[in-house]
Amino acid sequence: MNCAFVQKKGVMLVGLVFAASALQARHDPSNGENILVQAHQLYCNGSYWQARQAYQEVFEQIALGTLSLDNNVEIDAHTNYGQILWALGDYRNGHIEFDYRLQHPDKEPLQKPLTEEIVQKLKDDNALGNITLLVRAEHGLGDTFGFMKWLKAFKDAGVTVLLKVQNPLKGLLCRSHECVSLVINDEDDEPPFDYDMYLMSAPRYTSKHGLVPTVTVDDIPHFGAYIHPLAQKVQWWKEQLQGCLPLGFKWQFSGQPVPGGRFLERQIPLGLLAQLSSVDNVRAYSLQVPPHRPIRQQEFNQRKANNALNGLNEADIVPDGYWVQTFGPDFDKEEPFEDTVAVIKAIQMLGGKIISVDTSVPNLAGAMTEYNADAGDVGDTPVIMLLADKANIDARWGEIKPGARGEISRLFNSVRIYSQDKPGDWQMVVNNLKGDLRKEAAMAT
């Protein structure tokens, strides 16, 4: 869920900060433009309370007829506003605002849209067991990992839940029997269904209480792990990693950078993370996807001189005295993510940590390691999410204060969050994490 603009199906969806030319304020155009640009900048900066107030002023001007927006720009404004409300814990209104995205002309229309009224009627008629619901994944892979937990309430109520996912995820998620009945992707024909919905709308219909909306943070379901690795792979990787305290690193954003995007905030120099290997009995491993990999300064300089970096950048450099192991060219080659999830589980079983500055791995690892808090269980927190001083603004992390040190994620109770205290200061984050790892290691001995 990026605050800038994304490339999809060859169409550039321009972020609101560049959309002022599409505005037509009837009385004072510059005032309307300025408020909207300010609202968007506050949103991107993580200033949630101020952004909410600015967007409210925009919508008030629209209602009064003193501001007119291009339709797509207004849709994007409401969508961003919905994410702000989610971050501030107002899920009820956040769902309504975020669902404005469904009106965007670049969003594939639903064929048989599910509504709250339909859900209520099915409940009243005791007819949920006769229904097949097709749920369409959207946005990034991490959003699929995170939001599919809300599908469990549909399945528990007897609904046949079909989940259409991004192509690489089909094999992995077909074992998520807690949440789905069948997983398909774009290569499959869609089976017959009664209703369809987009995955990120699921919290509007379900919560830990069943088929009732998620209204507050306390309504988010925490029923335990729902993404499962293959047991034989876990055992094999556990044997390879044992003998030390393993740490798995993801230090770079894995998606494609977009103009004006915040991908640079999802990047930490691997040399800083490598400092964590100075903790006694720790060994570091790369969970990074190509083209990024650990590289020494000398090799980096040689490749740069020969114009042969092939996607590597300075954040991949590991200084002398440290190293980060890789898993070789056959890793995940047999089936997407199968080795990754097995390694994540093996690291957890060996008491290690998954440490990532990108959101996809914490969403995946959180879905694999969450414990059943709804049943009163207590578990460990093997997943570490690193955030820049401008925290991501969505249902996963909420409003994270600068300098956070081990705050539990609202979406996954097995994910802890560490954030910068000031812009660019990753060293402080690493120092805090190193100190906490040493304390945990001392308590374990």
Q: Express each pLDDT in 99-114 by its tens digit.
A: 999 999 999 999 999 9
Tell me, what's the pLDDT at 104? 95
Number of other CB atoms surrounding residue 424 within 10 Å: 9
Instruction: Give the lowest-confidence range in 66-80, 120-134, 378-392.
Output: 378-392
Check residue 77 and give its pLDDT: 95
Tokens for 432, please give them. Answer: 């805090």
pLDDT of residue 307: 95
- Residue 359 in tokens: 């959101």
The first and second tokens of residue 152, run together, are: 């469990």
Instruction: Share the mean pLDDT of the chain.
Output: 87
Exposure of 216 by Cβ count < 10 A (0-12 exposed, 13-18 middle, 19+ buried)?
exposed
DSSP string, 132-150: EEEEE--S-HHHHHHHGGG
pLDDT at 173: 97
With a pLDDT cut of 70, the percent of the chain lying above it is 88
Total residues found in the chain within this entry:
445
Angle, helices 338-349/231-241, rounded to nearest 10 degrees: 60
Q: Do domains 116-219 and 231-444 have the same CATH topology?
A: yes
Mean pLDDT of 271-283: 91
**pTM (2 d.p.):** 0.89
Residue 282: CA atoms inside 13 Å, Cβ hemisphere, count?
25
- What average pLDDT does range 382-405 have in this prediction? 74
pLDDT over 70 (residue 262): no
Q: Which CATH architecture has domain 116-219?
A: 3-Layer(aba) Sandwich (3.40)
Q: What's the pLDDT band for 256 if we cut at 50, 70, 90?
A: low
Using the CB atoms, write b or e for 107-143: b if 16+ within 10 Å.
eeeeeeebeeeebeebeeeeebeebbbbbbbbbbbbb
**Which region among 247-261, 295-309, 329-343 has the lowest average model confidence (pLDDT)?**
247-261
381-393 tens-digit pLDDT: 899 999 887 554 4
Longest distance between any two alpha carbons in the chain, whole Å? 71
Helix, strand or coil, per DSSP, at residue 186: coil
Query: Is it the case that residue 5 has pLDDT exceeding 90?
Result: no
4 near 260, Cβ under 8 Å?
A: yes
Half-sphere exposure in the Cβ direction for 323 (13 Å, CA)? 3
pLDDT of residue 395: 52
Distance CA 187, CA 193 (A): 17
- The pLDDT of 140-148, averaged and rounded, is 94
Peptide bond into 105 cis (omega under 30): no
Give me the pLDDT at residue 31, please.
64
User: pLDDT band at 432, cuts 50/70/90?
Assistant: very high
Higher model confidence: residue 264 or residue 397? Answer: 397
Q: Which two tokens stand for residue 231?
A: 């047991």
Q: What is the pLDDT of residue 124?
A: 96
Indicate whether 441 pLDDT > 70. Answer: yes
Looking at residue 259, its pLDDT comes to: 46
**263 or 301: which carries more pLDDT confidence?**
301
For the cut 80, the answer to whether the pLDDT of residue 421 exceeds it is: yes
Torsion sign across C-alpha atoms 414, 255, 91, 421:
positive
In the sheet that 245-250 helps form, which strands lie side by side, from edge to edge?
282-286, 245-250, 353-356, 383-387, 415-419, 405-408
pLDDT at 74 over 80: yes
CA distances in angstroms from 387 to 46, 67, 365, 393, 398, listed in the order given: 11, 36, 16, 11, 12
pLDDT tier at 255, thresholds 50, 70, 90: low
SS3 282: strand
pLDDT digits (tens, 9 = 90+) for 48-64: 889 999 999 999 999 99
The pLDDT confidence band at residue 281, using thresholds 50, 70 and 90, is: confident
What Å distances lie between residue 47 and 50, 265, 319, 393, 400, CA to CA? 6, 16, 36, 9, 10
Identify the pLDDT of residue 263: 53
pLDDT score recorded for residue 322: 93
The CA-CA-CA angle for residues 420, 423, 429, to 5°, reads: 25
Residue 444 pLDDT class (50, 70, 90 cuts): low
Side-chain-side CA neighbours of 248 within 13 Å: the count stands at: 30
Q: E strand or H helix at 218, and its extent?
A: none
Give the pLDDT score at 201.
Answer: 97
* Architecture in CATH for domain 231-444: 3-Layer(aba) Sandwich (3.40)
Output the pLDDT for position 283.
93
Looking up tokens 């999830």, which residue turns up?
341
Does residue 10 register a pLDDT over 50? no
Which residue ranges make up each domain of the chain?
A: 6-103, 116-219, 231-444
Query: Where is average pLDDT lowest: 86-90, 185-189, 227-231?
Result: 86-90
Residue 291 confidence class, pLDDT cut points 50, 70, 90: confident
Residue-level pLDDT at 382: 94
User: Residue 161 pLDDT > 50, yes or no?
Assistant: yes
Average pLDDT over residues 315-328: 93
Distance between CA atoms of residues 79 and 58, nearest Å: 13
